Structure 1
Amino acid sequence: METAIAFISGSLALLSDAVHMLTDAFSIILALVAMRLAARPAKGTYTFGLKRVEILSAQANGLTLLLAAVWLAYEAVVRLLHPPEVTGWMVLATALTGVAVNLAATWCLSKANRSSLNVEGAYQHILNDLFAFIGTAIAGVVVMTTGFARADTIATLFVVVLMVKAGCGLLRDSGRILLEAAPAGLDPDAIGDRLAAAPAVAEVHDLHIWTITSGEPALSAHVLVHPGGDCHAVRRDLDQVLAESYGLTHTTLQIDHEDDAPHPAAASASPAAVGAPTPHCANGHGPTHRREPHAH
């Protein structure tokens, strides 16, 4: 209906709102499907289950917003150069109806669990659509009162800016999760130094902090304990530190005793290498965190 009115009234702003609402419907359907898939238990080769489907859904939502924004921006530039006639009252009436509908939809989604990037993606779609309808309503008033047809196109560009902002945000946040980046607010180096400073700990390496899906951070690390140290007690202490100080409860810590003997490769490399910290892993990945000598 809105698309038909957009063509009849000659309003690109209404057409942009119609496109935006179409992407809204797509995002909500995609979010519901992703949530059902993510709820399935882990089994077979999918050891984390299908939790990342939510992140793929957020990526798809962000991409649809950007693609629609590119098309609308092109159409807006054309209409700025050659503005068509726009029927202001039709634009205003349709936009006010859209404001009412999207106010209700925004309120409903605001009550959902928005810690999920998937749900947040759908919410951003609806919220941006609300702002877009408000801008279109203002453009309709301007066209009605002044006859300035380019106001409709300016409203479209406003919608484009909102779509680009939301799309880039979704792609950025979902991309960080897919690339296994540490969750925002957690500094792996600071956490590694904190763990290495714990009693009986000699070294922490192969430290990885990532997000399985929205709201589910995880950590794994290889921890070397001084000879004679209690590995089980160290693991319990480190788990407590990670949970209480950083909110990390999904942790996997490999605890081993430090090898007193120097690594053969290190000893043969140079005399200075004898007595240097033992490289416990031949192909370590990530920085090594060791307690300062005076802290032993």
Structure 2
Amino acid sequence: MTHDHSHAASDTSKRRLLLAIGIVVCVLAIQVIGAAVSGSLALLADAGHMLSDLIGLIVALIATIVAARPATDRQTFGYRRAEVFGALINGVILVVVAIAVTIGAIVRLTSAQAADVQSVPMLVVAVVALVANIGALLLLRPAAQHSINMRGAYLEVLGDLLGAGAVIVAAVVLMTTGFAPADAIASLAIAAMIVPRAFALLRDVVRVLSEAAPADTDVAEIRRHITETPGVVAVHDVHVWAITSGHPVFTAHVVVDAQVFENGDTGRLLDELGGCLSQHFDVAHSTFQLEPAEHAAHEDELHR
């Protein structure tokens, strides 16, 4: 049942990504032409960000397809970690685009010759980009809540939506006041919006790859739940990490009362512990080593 649900979710993510890719390709072409016609650096910067969106969405699509492959004897957890590598590539692309846009804007602002920017085509193209990005954002938003890979794709499109908004503001300022630096300032604003999201995504990637406990997981609370389970004496050697976003994994050594072994209640206890983690902490994959007190007493200190 879980496999079917995961497969269906993967198919839905692929369809959403394909539709978003189609939207981005069309808008990218319009933005490149619009930037050439208008001479707008902000529009070109947004086109560059849109190109990173396209690359990021394609990477996300490939990662989604790879992640759906079943587990093997070599890849015992399957290929879900591919989503994390997809998010890593997205994050790096965002940082590179932000740096390139910043350099271009600074060069234009410090140039003695004012740039000739046509505000009308700049505004028209930016409005088209804004509407298209809203559509792509609505497509990706549901899946972004459950997958770090899809969240990376969602953040790409969200950044471009904000960028289109900045271009619209710059175009309106140019039309009403003739203030030429507005275009370059809008480019800097786009770069400033990209960087925090890029580092937030990369922070999540590092958390997963370093096998840190998921941010929303309270390990102390899990310990408390386990030790309060009837028959449990103590718990140690606790490890919590994630294969990818939304897929936490848990292992622990659980010291149990001798009567649990004598009465043959180990199966019941394992079901109870697994059910506790699944219901209260959304951990579907948990492994417990049940051991008597005399065994726990001589375990290596490194396992405590």
Please report the TM-score for the alignment, with normalisation by the length of structure 2: 0.82
Question: What is the identity, as a one-letter code, of the residue corresponding to 2:302?
Answer: N
What's the secondary structure of 1:136's corresponding residue? helix
CA deviation string 1:30-87 (max 9, x = no partner): 1111111011111131111111000110111111001110111121122222242222
| Secondary structure of 2:237's aligned partner | strand
Distance (whole Å) between structure 2 residues aligned to residue 181 and residue 21 of structure 1? 32
Q: Deviations over 1:73-117 (max 9, x none)?
A: 121122222242222122112212212222222222234453111
Q: Aligned equivalents of 1:173 and 1:190: distance in 2?
A: 22
The one-letter amino acid paired with 1:239 is G
For 1:159 and 1:113, locate their aligned partners in 2 and report how far apart those are by CA, in whole Å. 22
Partner SS for 1:219 = strand
Partner of 1:150: 181
Deviations 1:169-212 (A, max 9, x none): 11111221111121222111231233123333222111111111
What is the CA–CA distance in structure 2 between the aligned matches of 1:108 and 1:202, rounded to whole Å?
A: 49
Q: Which amino acid aligns with 1:132?
A: G
Write the letter of the residue equivalent to 2:288.
Answer: L
The 2-side partners of 1:69 and 1:8 are apart by 23
Q: Which residue among 103, 111, 118 is the counterpart of 1:87?
A: 118
Spell out the pairing of 1:220-231 with structure 2 (5 A cutoff): 220-230=251-261, 231=266
Q: Equivalent residue for 2:12?
A: none
1:212 maps onto 2:247 in alignment: no
Amino acid at match of 2:146: S
Indicate which of 282, 291, 297 corresponds to 1:278: 297
Structure 2, unmatched stretches of 5+, are 1-28
Gaps (5+ residues) in structure 1?
Answer: 261-276, 289-296
**Aligned counterpart for 1:238 among listed residues 245, 248, 273:** 273
Which digits, 9 at most, give the CA deviation of each residue in 1:124-144, with x for residues without a partner?
111211111111011011112
Corresponding residue for residue 252 of structure 1: 287
Q: Aligned to 1:119, what secondary structure does the other structure show? A: helix
Pick aligned residue for 1:28 from 49, 52, 57: 57
Aligned to 2:157: 126
User: Kindly tell me: are residues 238 and 32 of structure 1, through their superposed partners in 2, closer, same or farther at Cα, counting changes over 3 Å?
Assistant: same
- Give yes or no for the alignment of 1:160 onto 2:191: yes
Q: For residues 283 and 107 of structure 1, what CA distance do their matches in structure 2 show? A: 49
- Kept in 1, the 8 Å contact 2:90–2:152? The answer is yes
- After superposition, give the CA deviation of every residue in 1:137-159 in whole Å (9 maximum; x if it has no partner): 11011112211011111111111
Contact kept? 1:229, 1:257, Cα under 8 Å: no
Amino acid in the other structure paired with 2:207 = R
Matched, 1:45 2:64: no
The offset of 1:279, in angstroms, is: 4.3
Instruction: Return the index of the structure with the highest Cα Rg.
Output: 1
- Number of aligned positions between the proteins: 269
Distance 1:36 1:206 in 2: 35
Alignment of 1:60-139 (within 5 A): 60-82=89-111, 83-112=114-143, 114-139=145-170
| Higher helix proportion (structure 1 or 2) | 2
Aligned to 1:5: 34
User: Alignment identity in percent?
Assistant: 38
Cα distance in 2, alignment partners of residues 75 and 97 from structure 1: 24
1:239, distance to aligned residue in structure 2 (A): 1.9
